[in-house]
């Protein structure tokens, strides 16, 4: 080989290969797909958000937090959490659970939902329903960008108490400082859908489509909702913000966060939901657990363990 190259006029080519292009950095998980009975479920990545959990988590000491996060090598002052949305093709409907952060957070880290959606083979105009787990910026701001409805053919479903709370700016003084900008953002997100009469407020736990229902879990926010889907006896629940820090809250479900409107209620809902998921064994999709945020819950003594799905190219068939 060496002999063949010697003396060959390859200098220019060799120079071109001397240095590769700059490192690209960053990751783009895009989408993850699985079947649930006859329903196709696609986890869509909107990116991530990095938060100072040492300043945000409550009901835990600084030392406890440090110890718990050290097990997974995370620094409490910079915990990078995923922002996941979920697309469900029921055969009759194409339903999106949560809409990502749009331009509300760091554009270098989040607001990637549409890229993920297109990579997954669908267009924004294909979606006929967006179900919001709650009205926090990282779940609804992707509905509307620069005043335009991103999902022009979709009806936005949101629990009535949730919508009424966040669309009334006089409630601003009742929430943590970190959440106050959410009122103006909510008004902007909902505006084109309200103008087109495409916001549907439902109350509590209710069936929205065949095989798709909401479950009322107030606590984190006034009308925080899970969505449960069921096809051919298989069940999956989408948990919204039941868990913010997987490496802490499965072990200690009583740990809360400043974003909770009613922290005690949020902790009760977490314990109840984890017990139910562990007892029944259904799949869970969670907005802030590392992408794709799909897994199952195992009982582990007095606490719980998160069991992420196995990666599958063909599409997991549980
Ligand atoms: Zn939230």
- 3-state SS, residue 245: coil
H/E run at residue 62: helix 62-70
In this prediction, residue 110 carries a pLDDT of 95
Rounded to the nearest angstrom, the distance between the alpha carbon of 288 and the centre of ligand 1 is 9
Span 255-278, mean pLDDT? 97
Q: How far apart are CA 228 and CA 158, in angstroms?
A: 14
Span 262-289, mean pLDDT? 98
In this prediction, residue 3 carries a pLDDT of 46
Contact 106, 78 (CB under 8 A): no
Span 4-24, mean pLDDT? 66
3-state helix, strand and coil shares in percent for the chain, rounded to the nearest 5: 30, 30, 40
Rounded to the nearest angstrom, the distance between the alpha carbon of 240 and the centre of ligand 1 is 7
Instruction: State whether the Cα torsion 191-196-197-200 is positive or negative.
Output: negative
Number of domains in the chain: 1
Percent of the chain at pLDDT > 90 equals 87
Rounded to the nearest angstrom, the distance between the alpha carbon of 221 and the centre of ligand 1 is 7
What value does the mean pLDDT of the chain take? 93
Task: Give the CATH number of the domain where residue 257 resides.
Answer: 3.60.15.10
Any bridge partners for residue 304, and if so which?
299
Residues 6+ apart with CB under 8 A from 172: 180, 183
Span 107-111, mean pLDDT? 93
Rounded to the nearest angstrom, the distance between the alpha carbon of 210 and the centre of ligand 1 is 27
Rounded to the nearest angstrom, the distance between the alpha carbon of 119 and the centre of ligand 1 is 26
Residue 318 has pLDDT above 80, yes or no: no
pLDDT-based confidence at residue 315 (cuts at 50, 70, 90): low
- Is 5 domain-assigned? no
Q: Exposed, middle or buried by CB within 10 Å (0-12, 13-18, 19+), for 279? A: exposed
Rounded to the nearest angstrom, the distance between the alpha carbon of 241 and the centre of ligand 1 is 5
- Is 10 domain-assigned? no
Q: Which two tokens stand for residue 284?
A: 């869970």
- Is 274 domain-assigned? yes
Q: Which two tokens stand for residue 264?
A: 């005690």
Domain limits for position 290:
27-308
Rounded to the nearest angstrom, the distance between the alpha carbon of 145 and the centre of ligand 1 is 20
In this prediction, residue 316 carries a pLDDT of 62
User: Per-residue b/e over 44-79, b at no fewer than 16 CB within 10 Å?
Assistant: bbbbbbebebbebbeebeeeebeebbeeeebebeeb
Residue whose token pair is 């562990």 = 278
Residue 2 has pLDDT above 50, yes or no: no
Peptide linkage before 138 cis (omega within 30 of 0)? no
Q: How far apart are CA 108 and CA 131, in angstroms?
A: 25
- Is 48 domain-assigned? yes
Rounded to the nearest angstrom, the distance between the alpha carbon of 138 and the centre of ligand 1 is 7
In this prediction, residue 281 carries a pLDDT of 97
- Is 2 domain-assigned? no
Rounded to the nearest angstrom, the distance between the alpha carbon of 117 and the centre of ligand 1 is 22
Rounded to the nearest angstrom, the distance between the alpha carbon of 21 and the centre of ligand 1 is 40
Contact 235, 280 (CB under 8 A): yes
Pairing of strands 234-238, 283-285: parallel
Residues 6+ apart with CB under 8 A from 84: 43, 44, 45, 46, 98, 285, 286, 287, 288, 289, 291, 292, 293
Pairing of strands 57-58, 256-257: antiparallel
- Is 4 domain-assigned? no
Pairing of strands 155-159, 199-202: parallel
- Is 12 domain-assigned? no
Any bridge partners for residue 71, and if so which?
none
Q: How far apart are CA 144 and CA 155, in angstroms?
A: 13
Residue 6 has pLDDT above 70, yes or no: no
Q: How far apart are CA 76 and CA 82, in angstroms?
A: 16
Span 179-201, mean pLDDT? 97
pLDDT-based confidence at residue 25 (cuts at 50, 70, 90): confident
Question: DSSP secondary-structure letter at 277?
Answer: H
Span 140-161, mean pLDDT? 97
Residue 313 has pLDDT above 90, yes or no: no
Any bridge partners for residue 50, and if so which?
80
- Is 14 domain-assigned? no
């Amino acid at each position: 080989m060496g002999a063949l190259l010697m003396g060959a006029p390859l200098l220019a080519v060799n120079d071109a290969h001397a240095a590769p292009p700059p490192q690209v950095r960053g990751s783009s998980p895009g989408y993850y797909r699985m079947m649930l009975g006859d329903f196709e479920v696609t986890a869509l990545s909107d990116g991530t958000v990095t938060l100072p959990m040492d300043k945000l988590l409550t009901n835990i000491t600084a030392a406890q937090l440090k110890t718990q996060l050290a097990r997974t090598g995370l620094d409490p002052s910079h915990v990078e959490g995923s922002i996941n949305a979920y697309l469900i093709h029921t055969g009759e409907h194409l339903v999106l659970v949560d809409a990502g952060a749009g331009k509300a957070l760091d554009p270098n880290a989040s607001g990637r939902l549409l890229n993920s959606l297109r990579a997954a083979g669908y267009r924004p105009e294909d979606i006929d329903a967006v179900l919001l787990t709650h009205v926090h910026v990282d779940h609804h701001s992707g509905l509307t960008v620069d005043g335009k409805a991103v999902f022009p053919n979709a009806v936005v479903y949101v629990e009535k108490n949730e919508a009424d709370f966040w669309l009334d700016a006089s409630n601003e003084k009742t929430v943590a400082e970190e959440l106050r900008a959410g009122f103006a953002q909510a008004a902007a997100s909902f505006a084109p859908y309200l103008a087109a009469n495409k916001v549907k407020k439902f109350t509590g736990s209710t069936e929205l489509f065949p095989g798709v229902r909401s479950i009322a879990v107030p606590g984190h926010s006034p009308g925080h909702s899970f969505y449960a889907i069921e096809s051919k006896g298989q069940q999956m629940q989408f948990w919204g913000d039941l868990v913010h820090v997987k490496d802490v809250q499965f072990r200690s479900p009583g740990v809360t966060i400043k974003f909770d409107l009613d922290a005690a209620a949020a902790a009760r809902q977490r314990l109840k939901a984890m017990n139910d998921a562990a007892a029944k064994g259904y799949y869970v999709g969670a907005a802030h657990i590392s992408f794709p945020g799909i897994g199952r819950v195992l009982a582990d003594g007095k606490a719980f363990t998160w069991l992420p799905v196995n990666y599958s190219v063909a599409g997991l068939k549980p």
